[in-house]
Amino acid sequence: MTGDVKRMYINGEWSLAEGGATFDIVNPADQSVVATVTNGAAPEIQRAVAAAHAAFREWSLLAPKDRGRFLLGIQELMQERCDELARLVTLENGKPFEEARKEVQFSLGYFGWFAEEARRMTGEWIPSPQPGKRYWVLHQPIGCVAAVTPWNFPATMVTRKIAPALASGCTVVLKPASATPLTALAIAEITRDAGLPPGVFNVLTTNRSRLVGNELLTHPLIRKIGFTGSTDVGKGIMETAARQIKRLSFELGGNAPFIVFDDADLEPAVDGAVAMKFLRVGGQSCICANRIYVQRGIAERFIPAFIDAVKRLKVAPGFEPGAQVGPLINEETRAKVHALVEDAVKRGARLVCGGHYLTEGAHAKGFFYAPAVLLDVTDDMAIAQEEIFGPAAPILTFAAEDEVIRRANATRFGLAAYFYTRDLARLMRVAEQLEYGLVGANDATGYTHEIPFGGFKESGLGREGGHEGIEEYTEVKSVVVNLG
């Protein structure tokens, strides 16, 4: 990337928008402008889609092992530039630098996994029910893909979409979140340095969300849309895509329950709850623990230990040594979290930790919020019904297994759930009965590249990761041959 304005990446070149429109990228830790980015519009969308379409035939006909070599080259360069990428993640997203490094390390693994999966896109030979005929089934790339990614994981959300798309033989137009495009542009630079042919991967930077919906997602040459974001926005995209019968894969909102049974090992359960509530972008993640259910027999031990651990968390700018929780992405997000906390308190919950703006010293200019813990929360409170997307932990108690499963499933979301128990029979029962696409049993690390990830109910469509991830970008073709 060259020049003072960060340019979008179209057809292997760094491009400015017609008319020179730009927008600023703000560091949420101090509201300083860290970069100015070109602001794309309809002409840039047309150019990006045209480039992806023109590159599709040659890329899709390339041998899968050769596509895989490109992906492995990208993975290698991402590894070499890990700290550089992590620095960008912290600058534009605010998360602690060590957390950003872990994200980049995880994100580059998708290129390694799908480089191998490209070679495993096997078809089928179907035994013929009739003499003189043969049947086989092929999996072929769907075409040009539009990928729309959020700001909370600026590296992982990009690679989790583009790696399987490229591995399958598709070409991509990526629209990263307007708050965090710098990481995506750096990944584009890496793909260029790795020799990826022009047009195969394009990055469109814009803060004109309506334009993306009207121009990119409805473009007739876009055959597939991959989106991660809110359920409400996903529904709008689904309505738009329905008019052209476009293929979709969505990872949408969540309302993850975190369940602690009486027989759980206390220390791992506390550590897991703190990690899944506060140590993933400060709670700004769709799979973060949103509701913590504690069985009454362990509540008197779990709750004080959890509160004590939360009070010890270091809330600080991302580059400060030892930072564990950074700022929220913007004031709108901070205000929403605070409103949910205040509403719960008004309705009878007890705020026992945090729950206020941090506005002094290193926190003075950023969107910092003191990690909150609330007790006496009930299921009908908004904080237990809505996705919090921030550092606030509502704690609810329960008496019996059947009760907590019913309460945990009583939501329109179904992305992730977690529970802790030492009872193997209970572990199997609960894992099978929770209506969620990802279930962590005595585990709070989340997913990995090798398994499919996605949601039930209003939390999404399709899967990312695993062998299922590459199938989302293919069409199935049946071939019938009459041998005469």
SS3 (DSSP) at 191:
helix
Name the CA dihedral angle for 133, 138, 140, 142, rounded to a multiple of 10 degrees.
Answer: 80
Nearest to 248 by CA among 232, 233, 234: 234
Cα distances from 276 to residues 61, 156, 224, 264, 365, in angstroms, run 42, 17, 32, 17, 27
Q: Do the beta carbons of residue 45 and residue 220 sit within 8 Å?
A: no
Q: How far apart, in whole angstroms, are the C-alpha atoms of residue 55 and residue 64?
A: 16
Q: Which residues are catalytic?
A: 251, 286
Beta-bridge partners for 393: 373
Q: Do the beta carbons of residue 314 and residue 417 sit within 8 Å?
A: no
Nearest to 169 by CA among 227, 224, 241: 224
Q: Do the beta carbons of residue 234 and residue 47 sit within 8 Å?
A: no
The C-alpha angle 146, 166, 222, rounded to 5 degrees, equals 25
